[in-house]
């Protein structure tokens, strides 16, 4: 199972960027959205940096 980086970024943004389980649940609920893989236009560079730090954990968790 794999998810796009953009989709994972959106999950972290939409769940407050503080809970991997909530982000995974968001992904499962929204993975069929037409804009799931589209870049998020509203993210700031600070938010993006925080998200990049969590993506490794997110992808590691999702590959279990």
User: Where are the chain's structural domains?
Assistant: 5-62
Quick one: DSSP state of residue 33? S
pTM over 0.75: no
Q: Angle formed by the axes of helices 5-14 and 45-62, to 10°?
A: 110
pLDDT (tens digit per residue) in 3-19: 888 898 888 888 888 88
pLDDT (tens digit per residue) in 43-56: 555 556 566 666 66
Q: Is the pLDDT of residue 26 over 60?
A: yes
| Cβ-count burial 8-45 (b if 16+ within 10 Å, e if not) | bbbbbbebebeebeebbebbeeeeeeeebeeeeeebee
Note the pLDDT of residue 51.
64
Pair of tokens at residue 60: 């590691």
């Amino acid at each position: 199972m794999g998810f796009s980086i953009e989709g994972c970024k959106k999950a972290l943004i939409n769940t407050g960027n503080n809970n991997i389980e909530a982000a995974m649940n968001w992904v499962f609920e929204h993975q069929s959205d037409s804009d799931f893989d589209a870049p998020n236009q509203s993210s700031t560079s600070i938010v993006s940096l925080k998200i990049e730090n969590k993506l490794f954990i997110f992808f590691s968790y999702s590959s279990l």
